[in-house]
Amino acid sequence: MSSTTHPVTGRQAARTGTMMGVASMVTVQFGSALAIPMFAKLGVLGTAGVRLAWAGIVLLVLVRPRRRDFAGRDLAACAGLGVVTAGLMVFFALAIARLPFGTASALEFLGPLAVSLFGPGHGRRVWTGAAGLGVVLLTEPWHGGVDPLGLAFALAAAACWASYILLTQHVGDRVTGLSGLAVSMPVAAVVSMLVAGPTLGGRLSWEPVLIMLGLAVLSPLVPYALEFQALRRLTASSFGTLMSLEPAIALGIGIVVLHQIPGTGPALGVALVVVAGVGATSSGARPEPEHAPAPAVMAVPVAGAEERPALVGAGR
């Protein structure tokens, strides 16, 4: 009997992976939008800190990583990943407290876009120009209406997201399954709570804490699970191109959930950032890792699929 998978199965897997990827983006942006009303109860830093604390606790309990699963350098990389994850979440929360949701998300996306633009491949200048023009339209400096501190926070979140991707590549290449995530997320929780702790005095009560548990499940836990499964069904380049739609999804959620209607310039800016992301991601693919970890479980290969590291995460 032939072991070759029928082409229809490959197309079905791709469609399923695409739906999972879209669901992941919608979930992570929806969770971030729903967290904004909690700023009034827990503060911006407190909301980010409690959300990460719940995510770290849940992952630690579910995955239960073991020390023997990690080499020394890999454990350090997981800790570093936790630090930049905390920075990503905290800076993005500070950004959306000052900027429209869609604008902050598009500016944050400059981090992974920069990784693509400066990665392997050619013909990226046009996409760099499109991204630059998109940023100008998003910020509209001729109006002087963008909060400069909010802009700085969004760009700091972008830098953390770029670092997050590079560190996740290393951890995903060398650490089996979700063990790396189960170490990095508690580290992120500790770091964020060290920053947020002084702002939470007198604000903690069971109601907001339990609400944040639900938001932590909504994002980042569910998106991580969806992305992990999507990466089993899509090539890395296809997944990266799909994720380039996230700023547009954030813009739509900002309109529907937060009633933030963008002007023509910012809307066009988001579109240009999305186009730049799609173009840059399609221009090159990541080479295979030198030291891939052994898979945690046996998986049935999908026809036409290449080996894919689980390296792109919501993280925000």
* CA 285 distance to own-chain centroid: 19
* Per-residue model confidence (pLDDT) at position 299: 34
Q: Say yes or no to pLDDT of 67 above 80.
A: no
Q: Residue count of the chain, please give it.
A: 316
Given a cut of 60, is residue 16 above it in pLDDT?
A: yes
pLDDT for 304 beyond 50: no
Q: What is the mean pLDDT of the chain?
A: 80
What is the average pLDDT across 76-88?
92
Burial class (CB in 10 A: 0-12, 13-18, 19+), 8: exposed
Q: Are 162 and 112 in contact (CB under 8 A)?
A: yes
Q: What is the pLDDT of residues 194-225, one digit of tens each?
A: 999 999 988 888 999 999 999 999 888 888 77
pLDDT score for 289: 47
Tell whether the model's pLDDT for residue 310 goes beyond 70: no
- Interval 136-141 mean pLDDT: 80
Q: 153 pLDDT band (50/70/90 cuts)?
A: very high
Helices marked H in 175-292: 179-196, 206-216, 222-230, 236-243, 246-258, 264-282
Q: pLDDT digit string (tens) for 45-57?
A: 999 999 999 999 9
Average pLDDT over residues 70-75: 77
Residue labelled with tokens 């239960």: 64
- Distance CA(170)–CA(161), nearest Å, equals 14
Answer whether 127's CB lies under 8 Å from 283's CB: yes
pLDDT at 99: 92
How far apart are the C-alpha atoms of 125 and 221, rounded to whole Å? 36
Closest CA to 315 of 195, 163, 212, 194: 163
Query: Average of pLDDT values for 290-312?
Result: 38
Look at 304 and 264; give whichever has higher pLDDT. 264
- Give the residue among 85, 96, 91 at the shortest CA–CA distance from 32: 96
The counts of H helices and E strands in the chain are: 14, 0
Strands (E) located in 52-152: none
Q: What is the pTM of this model?
A: 0.80
Mean local confidence (pLDDT), 179-201: 90
pLDDT tens string 238-288: 777 788 888 999 999 999 999 999 888 889 999 998 888 888 776 654 444
Q: What is the pLDDT, as a whole number, of residue 66?
A: 79
Whether residue 78 is predicted with pLDDT greater than 80 in this model: the reply is yes
**pLDDT higher for 82 or 304?**
82
The confidence band for 121, taking pLDDT boundaries of 50, 70 and 90, is: low
pLDDT at 49: 94
CB of 137 closer than 8 Å to CB of 276: no
pLDDT of residue 263: 87
